[in-house]
Every structure is written in C-alpha cells, then in structure tokens.
Amino acid sequence: MLHVTDIRDHKEEYIKALTKRNFDASEVFENVLSLDEKRRSTQASLDNTLAESNKLSKEIGMLYKNGETQKANILKERTGKLKEESKNLQEVLTTTVEELEQLLYTIPNIPQDTVPAGKSEDDNEEVFRKGAIPVLAAGSLPHWELAKKYDIIDFELGNKITGAGFPVYKGKGSRLQRALINYFLDKNTAAGYTEYQVPHLVNEASGFGTGQLPDKEGQMYHVGVDDLYLIPTAEVPVTNMFRDSLLDEKDLPITCTGYTPCFRREAGSYGAHVRGLNRLHQFDKVEIVRLEKAEDSDAALDGMVEHVKTILDELKLPYRILRLCGGDLGFTSTLTYDFEVFSTAQDRWLEISSVSNFKTFQANRLKLRYKDKDGNKQLTHTLNGSALALPRVLAGILENYQTEDGINIPEVLVPYCGFDKI
C-alpha cells in the first residue's frame, strides 16, 4: 500500500498518475489525510495524558513518603480521571488507525511514467515480437481436440472429479507437463534463482501482505474452517517468507523461484476464449521473485524480461511482449510486461507470463525493510514474474508443433520428456 507520508508529499502528482488507472483518488486522499491528522492529534493527546499521569504518579509517591496524605489523595483523583481519559483516547486511536489502514488498502499502486494510458487490454502497448507464426496444414486442430485425439488431457474426467477447469493430464501429456516444470526450474536456478518449495495454503496476513486481499478476495478459494486461502500464485508464499524482516543491504538482491499449483475461481469468465487450457481453476506455474534495493529494481525488471525471453526463444514459440496500460495494470503493480504466445490453431494470442515491479507497495504492507550502509532502514522493492505459467505454453506447443502424423516436442524439452513426438 502507499505510505501516508508519500500521499501527503506527492498528493497532486499521485492523483494525476492514478488517472491512468481510471481511478479518481481526490476524495479518498482527502479522507486519508483527514484520518491521519486525527490519528496524529489523538496520539499527541494520548502521549500528553500519559506523560501527565506518570508525572503525577511520581509526585504522589513523594507526597505519601513525606506524610502529605491529603494532597496525595487529591492528586490520585486526578490520575484516575487521566487513566479514564487515556483509555478513551487509546480506543479512538485504535479505531482511527484501523480505518486509515483499511482505506489505504483500497488504493492501487502508482503507475510509472512509462505506463501508457488506457481503459482495457485493447490499449496495451506492444514493445517486442519474435518468431515466425507457423503455417499449419489444412484440418489442424485446437489443443483441446488434440488432447482428446492423442489421449493426453481429459477435461471431462476432471469435470467428473471436481468440476470444470480442473483437467486431468495423462500419459505423455502428464510427462510433458512435468518436463516443462523441471525445465523452467532448471533455467531459473541456472540464472541464479534459489529454488523453494512452499505451502499451497496461506493465512490472511500473507494475502494482505502481497496485495491479493482485499482486492482479489472474490477470486481466491477460502477454507473457512481454518481461515486459510489456496494460493493464486507462488508469489504469495514466496514473498511472504520475508514478511516482518529487516535485511542487510549486503544480502540484496534476494532471488527466488518455485513451482506450485495455483488456484483461481475465475468468477465471471465465460465464452469460447475459456475453452480447454485457456482458463483454468487449477493450473501449474513456476514463479520468480526478487527483492531489490530501490536504485536497482528498474534494471532488475529489465533483466527478468530478458530471462523469460530466453526461455521462449529456446521453446521456439512465436511470442510478443506488451507493456500494460493503466486500465489493465494489476492493483499492486507499478509497471507490468505481459508475454503472449501465438496460438496458431485458435488464431489468437495467449498470455503466459506477467513480469512486474511493485516497488515499495508490497514491502510497506509486509513491513519488509533493509538496513543501508549508513544504518538507515529502507523499504525493499519487490518484483515477480511467471517463468512460466504452464497451461497456455502447453497449448501453444500442442497447436504450433502439430503435424499430420503427431505432435513434435520442442528440442530443448526432449531430454526432459524422454520422447520427441506424441
């Protein structure tokens, strides 16, 4: 979330920047500053009340010691009133702080200057494209029909077990899925990312820490009895490993990768574009997360983009990179690049990765700081990206690599699969 001091110091600048998100911050900023003023004045009154109470307590002790009981009793009446007053002030302060925090949770991150204005994904800016779109033979099939033809993914069986959006991978389909996971992890660890295996359920504090709560609460699966949430991305548990941490500058950057299944309700998603692997409630994803000093995070984001490009270059899939506009930018992000592969059989682009810089937005919620060389405490910058999300990569491979006599396996994956054709 944004820091109140930053809102106060950059109010007009932030209001203008948030218009890129089609978010009018004028009224909410006024409410934030009003609540913060109330918080500060209440805190000052409480401090003064407690200070006076402590001073009188010392005086009362001296009066009793000197035998001046009557004077001491008079002052005791005053301290009783001060205790009641401080109790009331503390209640007001607690309520005000909670109201202020809840209001701050509703304000999205400030877009960077390079974020284009726009209302939807139609206004995203293409910044890079690579790979020739293959020309498929007549009668080529979309991936859901290929999956059925070669018996590698069973959507109906998943529907029977759980419901729509929970596919069952079979035989070579399952082995190809596992091969992709191992390949992505190997690429990430070779690039210096430390691999972690993390829980697939998180508590409420973790959801708030990385910004999924309260913004995406309706899209998360909630286990009510235990008050836990199934993770929508490995970003949540991996980043929260460092919640409430004070790092040392020499420890940065910290780079992490991890594979997890991901769970998203995808409420409101209907139509032909959600067929097959295009949109699922459970899917596999390999994530990369970085913790950086402020001056290094922009370069780190560029480095993450280049890293994802190397993976797609080796898979030899046609892809493009989009800089997201303000209207399509995620709530917590200040700048995001989306990667999309071209689905030849569907004749459309499919998103397979988002690489984002959150700057201090998550760290402020997480209370994630580092001590610089001068001993000052600074908020850490956090970044994350998919490297990669599997379903649409798999869809792209099945469709773009199909031939009249089967589906070829990208050369880089053959050692992981143990076969070169489905």
Residue 269: what pLDDT? 55
Its domain, for residue 234, covers 121-417
Return all residues near 388 (Cβ < 8 A) that are at least 6 apart.
180, 184, 285, 286, 308, 311, 312, 339, 352, 353
Which residues are documented as binding site?
233, 264-266, 287, 351-354, 384
Closest by CA to 276, choosing from 391, 359, 161, 400, is 391
DSSP β-bridge partners for residue 153: 169
Q: Is residue 137 part of a domain?
A: yes
Residue 267: what pLDDT? 64
Our count of domains for the chain comes to 2
Mean local confidence (pLDDT), 412-422: 97
pLDDT tens string 140-193: 999 999 999 999 999 999 999 999 999 999 999 999 999 999 999 999 999 999
Sheet order of strands, 348-359 included: 125-130, 319-323, 335-343, 348-359, 381-389, 282-292, 254-263, 194-195
Q: Extract the tokens encoding 219.
A: 């899209």
Ramachandran quadrant class, 220 (left: phi over 0; alpha: psi -120 to 50; beta: rest): beta
Task: Decide if pLDDT at 223 tops 90.
Answer: yes
Residue 305: what pLDDT? 98
Burial of 140 (0-12, 13-18, 19+ CB in 10 A): middle
Residue 375: what pLDDT? 93
Q: Extract the tokens encoding 40.
A: 């500060």
Q: Which of 134-138, 238-242, 270-274, 303-307 has the lowest mean pLDDT?
A: 270-274
Pair (151, 58) in one structural domain: no
pLDDT tens string 347-397: 999 999 999 999 999 999 999 999 999 999 999 999 999 999 999 999 999
Residue with tokens 């067929």: 275
Task: Decide if pLDDT at 115 tops 60.
Answer: yes
pLDDT band per the 50, 70, 90 thresholds, residue 71: confident
Pair (187, 258) in one structural domain: yes
Pair (179, 248) in one structural domain: yes
Pair (145, 58) in one structural domain: no
Q: d(Cα 351, Cα 401) in Å, to the nearest integer?
A: 18
pLDDT tens string 320-350: 999 999 999 999 999 999 999 999 889 999 9
Which residues are documented as binding site for L-serine?
233, 264, 287, 384
Pair (240, 278) in one structural domain: yes
Average pLDDT over the chain, rounded to whole? Answer: 94
Q: Is residue 329 part of a domain?
A: yes
Task: Tell which of 54, 78, 105 closes a domain.
Answer: 105
Closest by CA to 117, choosing from 351, 323, 333, is 323
pLDDT tens string 241-282: 999 999 999 999 999 999 999 999 986 555 556 789 999 999
| CATH number for the domain that contains residue 85 | 1.10.287
Pair (81, 134) in one structural domain: no
pLDDT tens string 178-222: 999 999 999 999 999 999 999 999 999 999 999 999 888 889 999
Q: Is residue 409 part of a domain?
A: yes
Q: d(Cα 68, Cα 227) in Å, to the nearest integer?
A: 58
| Cα–Cα distances in angstroms (integers) from residue 75 to residues 53, 71, 89, in the given order | 10, 6, 21
Which of 296 and 54 is assigned the larger pLDDT?
296
Pair (262, 293) in one structural domain: yes
Pair (140, 61) in one structural domain: no
Residue 270: what pLDDT? 55
Q: Is residue 237 part of a domain?
A: yes
Task: Tell which of 49, 71, 105 closes a domain.
Answer: 105
Closest by CA to 309, choosing from 341, 269, 285, 274, is 341
Task: Tell which of 105, 130, 153 closes a domain.
Answer: 105
Residue 271: what pLDDT? 52
Mean local confidence (pLDDT), 283-295: 97
Residue 161: what pLDDT? 97
Residue with tokens 């649409």: 392
Residue with tokens 């850490």: 380
Q: d(Cα 313, Cα 202) in Å, to the nearest integer?
A: 34
Closest by CA to 17, choosing from 3, 5, 4, 7, is 7
Q: Is residue 14 part of a domain?
A: yes
Task: Decide if pLDDT at 139 tops 90.
Answer: no
What one-character DSSP code corresponds to residue 408? B
Residue 370: what pLDDT? 97
Q: Is residue 111 part of a domain?
A: no
Q: d(Cα 281, Cα 264) in Å, to the nearest integer?
A: 5
Sign of torsion over alpha carbons 210, 262, 23, 34: negative
Mean local confidence (pLDDT), 119-146: 93
Pair (295, 206) in one structural domain: yes
Pair (91, 215) in one structural domain: no
Q: Is residue 113 part of a domain?
A: no
Residue 268: what pLDDT? 55
> Three-class SS of residue 383?
strand
| CATH number for the domain that contains residue 290 | 3.30.930.10
The C-alpha angle with vertex 361 and arms to 357 and 364, in degrees rounded to 5, equals 135
Q: Is residue 55 part of a domain?
A: yes
Which residues are documented as binding site for ATP?
264-266, 351-354
Pair (280, 209) in one structural domain: yes
Pair (17, 158) in one structural domain: no
Task: Decide if pLDDT at 82 tops 90.
Answer: no
